[in-house]
Amino acid sequence: MSLKDWVKGRVAAMDAAAQPWARRSRLNAAAYEFLLFGLKQAWACLFGGAMLALLLATKFWWPEAAPIARYDFLVLGALAIQAFMLLTRLERWDEAVVILIFHVVGTAMEVFKTAQGSWIYPEASLLRIGGVPLFSGFMYAAIGSYIARIWRLFEVRFENYPPLWAPWLLALLAYANFFTHHYVVDIRWGLFAFSVAIFWRTWFTFTADLATRRMPMIAGALLVALFIWIAENLGTFASAWIYPEQRDGWRMVGFSKLGSWYLLIMLSFVLVSLVHRPERADEA
């Protein structure tokens, strides 16, 4: 039996044992659904959570006399996590291909951004491209892993999904703007408006327990961007990377970064749609 099947069996057993209690009252049902929602969210964050744990653990407990650099250890740790998830079938191979695309896309942007001085990796390492240690690509891959897993775990479906070309155009323009705004006008406000124009009628449905819930697509993307911003603050606190204003000591990352993460979520969502076709809610 694979780890994935074992976990599914334990969850099914827990659910069967808890359902009688949950049916006793609306309050019990709401509490149990909220608990399942949190557990599924945590399970979907497995890759990202493990990476964040590695960043924080090595921040406080990395020995000065270690035979390899901390950043190089993070690369090996990220590879080990990815291999574990594939071998235990917690992640599908087609999802892994998309996550590899995330890694390449993210690393390319990192190389450019660090050359522009947008942020800095302050520690030495061998496994790097230019000023970018290779573990950085796994931070983008963690976002792709989360979206792919949440799509499956919550049985996500869509209402009033726009024509397929529109999200792809938004994603391509958003990615290009991460580069071009250094040389020409920054079009992010136009991209925000474009995202609202194509997704303002789009809702997604999801199931944490028995009832199907729904949320506006834009609200969901903003919430994910907010949680990534919180993780980014933890990452900079752990000195995984720092912004120029953090050279003299850690300070909270500005709220303006939420916009960048929102656009990156849109790009991430489109890439994951390569393996998880956006299905209409009435197809469930």
Question: What is the structure's pLDDT at 2?
Answer: 65
pTM: 0.88
Reported confidence tier of residue 283, pLDDT bands at 50, 70, 90: low
Exposure string over 267-283, b if 16+ CB within 10 A, otherwise e: bbbbbbbebbebeebee
Torsion 159-165-170-175 (CA) sign: positive
Per the prediction, the chain carries an average pLDDT of 89
Residues 151-168: what's their mean pLDDT?
92
Extract the tokens encoding 228.
């990534």
In the chain, DSSP finds a helix count (H) and a strand count (E) of 10, 5
Query: Is pLDDT above 90 for 275?
Result: no
Residue-wise pLDDT tens digits, 36-52:
899 899 988 989 999 99
pLDDT value, residue 72: 95
**Taking the domains of the chain in order of start, what are their residue ranges?**
1-44, 45-283
Q: Please report the pLDDT score of residue 76 as a whole number.
A: 95
